[in-house]
Amino acid sequence: MTASFPTALPRPVLALHGGAGTIRRDSMSAEMEASYRAALKVILADGAERLSRGDAAMDVAVEAVRRLEECELFNAGKGAVYTADERHELDASVMDGRDRSAGAVAGVTRVRNPVLAARAVMAHSGHVMLIGPAAEAFAFEQGLERVEPTWFGTPQRLAQLRKAQASAMGQVLDHDGQQAVAGGPIDEKTKFGTVGAVVRDAAGHLAAATSTGGMTNKRPGRVGDSPILGAGCYADDRSVAVSCTGTGEAFIRAAAAHEVGALMRIGGMSLAEAASRVVFEELPPVGGDGGLIAVDALGNVWLGFNTEGMYRGWVEAGGAPVVGVYRDE
C-alpha cells in the first residue's frame, strides 16, 4: 500500500522509514505502537527544523538516520538484530544527489554509528565502500566513536534470534534443512528492519541514507541491499532519492533504488508511477518483500510497501510530522 504526496510547489521535505514487514495491529501492544510513532515524530520534527534553517539534504538525512540508529526500537545501530552466531554486523550507505558521490560500510561491528562511517568513507577515503575491520579502522581514524561489539544487543533482539533459530530447527525436521543449517532466514516476513531517510533541501538537492543490522539469524558475512548503492540507497538530483527496506537479496537483484530513478529519468514516469512499479511489479517476482521511501526534485514524497506494514513518516519544512505504521493508514 502506498501514500503519495504530490505538491505543486518545490519544497524542502524529509521522509523516514524504520523498516517494513509483518507489522499488524493484533501483534503490537498500544504502548509499543505509541513508542514507535513518538520516536518517528521526534526525529521528523528535528529534521523539519533543520530544513527550515536551510541545512543541506545530506546533513539532514545523516542526522535523521543517526538518531534512528540510536533508538533501540529500530534494527540499526543500538537494537540491531543478531547474526546466526550471535553477533552484530552492521551496514550503512549514503548518497548525495548533487554529484552522486556516495559512501558505504558493510560488516562493521564496533562503530557506534555506521551511517557516520558511510559518510566519512564518502568524504575522506577516496572510495565508495569499505568493509569489515578495515572499515572500522578507517572510521576510528576519522574520530568516530567505538563501542564494544555487544553494545548493539538488546534482550528483545536476542529473543528474536532464539525464535528464528527455533523455527529453523522446526524446518530441519520438515523439508528445508539446508536453509536452516546455513542459518538462513526462515520466516522472511517477520524479520525486516532497516532505517532510512530521503531529503530534498531548500536548494533543491537530494540525499539518501540507509542503515541496518541486516536480517535476524543471517549468515556471518552476509551483506544485504542497504549498503549497496543502487539497491538499498540511491540519490540523483536529476530524478529521485530512495531508501529501501526488505529482503535485501531481492532488492539487490532488482537494483531497486536505481530502478526507481531510471524509470523516472529514462522512462519518463512520475515518482509515484516509478516507485509503485518497483515495489508492486519488479520486486515480487524475485521474492522482494518490503518497501521504500522516495522524494523527487520537486519535493514530492512516496512511501510504499508490499508487506503488512512499514514504520514511516514525512515532514516538510515548517510542517507537522505525519507518521504511519500499518497498511490501512
| Annotated catalytic residue 194 | yes
Strands across the sheet containing 2-5: 2-5, 301-305, 290-296, 240-246, 233-236
227 vs 261, beta carbon nearer ligand ASP:
227
Q: Which three cell numbers stand for residue 45?
A: 520534527
**Cβ-proximal residue to ligand ASP, closest one:** 248
Instruction: Tell me how far apart the alpha carbons of residues 62 and 181 are, in angstroms, rounded to a whole number.
Output: 37
**Contact (Cβ atoms closer than 8 angstroms) between residue 193 and residue 245:** yes
Q: Supply the minimum distance, in Å, between the C-beta of residue 75 and ligand ASP.
A: 6
| Residue 163 DSSP SS3 | helix
Residue range at the interface with ligand ASP (CB under 6 A); choices 55-63, 156-164, 208-216, 259-267: 208-216
Among 83, 125, 194, 217, binds ligand ASP (CB under 6 A): 194
Q: Quick check: 160 binds ligand ASP (CB under 6 A)? A: no
Site string for ligand ASP, 235-254 (x = CB under 6 A): ----------xx-x------
- For residue 230, report the phi and psi dihedrals to the nearest 5 degrees: 95, -20
Q: Supply the minimum distance, in Å, between the C-beta of residue 173 and ligand ASP.
A: 27
Nearest CA among 106, 13, 103 for reference residue 293: 13
Give the pairing of strands 129-131 and 101-108.
Answer: parallel
Q: Supply the minimum distance, in Å, between the C-beta of residue 251 and ligand ASP.
A: 6
Site for ligand ASP in 277-306 (CB under 6 A): 290
Q: Which three cell numbers stand for residue 113?
A: 554509528
End-to-end CA distance of the chain: 9
Q: Supply the minimum distance, in Å, between the C-beta of residue 170 and ligand ASP.
A: 22
Residues that bind ligand ASP (CB under 6 A): 19, 192-194, 212, 214-215, 224-226, 232, 245-246, 248, 290
Active site residues: 194
